[in-house]
Amino acid sequence: MRLDGKVALITGAGSGIGRESAVLFAAEGASVVVADIEDLGGQETVAAIEKSGGRAVFVHADVAKAADAAKMIDAAEQTFGKLNVLFNNAGIMHGKDDDAVSTDEAIWDLTMNVNAKGVFLGCKYGIPAIRRAGGGSIINTASFVAVLGAATPQVAYTASKGAVLALTRELAVVHARESIRVNALCPGPLRTELLMKFLDTDAKKQRRLVHIPMGRFGTAAEIARAALFLASDDSSFVTGTEFLVDGGITAAYVTPE
pLDDT tens-digit profile of 53-83?
999 999 999 999 999 999 999 999 999 999 9
**Residue 110 exposure: Cα atoms within 13 Å on the Cβ side:** 11
Sign of the Cα pseudo-torsion (243, 46, 83, 29, in order): negative
Average pLDDT over residues 134-142: 98
Class level of CATH domain 7-244: alpha beta
Which member of 120, 157, 217, 243 is catalytic?
Answer: 157
Sign of CA dihedral 26, 84, 58, 17: negative
Please tell me the chain's helix, strand, coil percentages from 3-state DSSP, rounded to the nearest 5: 50, 15, 35
> Measured between alpha carbons, how far is 131 from 20 in angstroms, rounded to an integer?
27
Q: Domain limits of the chain?
A: 7-244
CA gap 37, 39 in Å, rounded: 6
More confident residue, 154 or 210: 154
Q: pLDDT, tens digit, for every residue of 226-243?
A: 999 999 999 999 999 999
Tell me if 206 sits within 8 A of 200, measured CB to CB: no
Catalytic status, residue 253: no
Whether 58 contacts 36, CB under 8 Å: yes
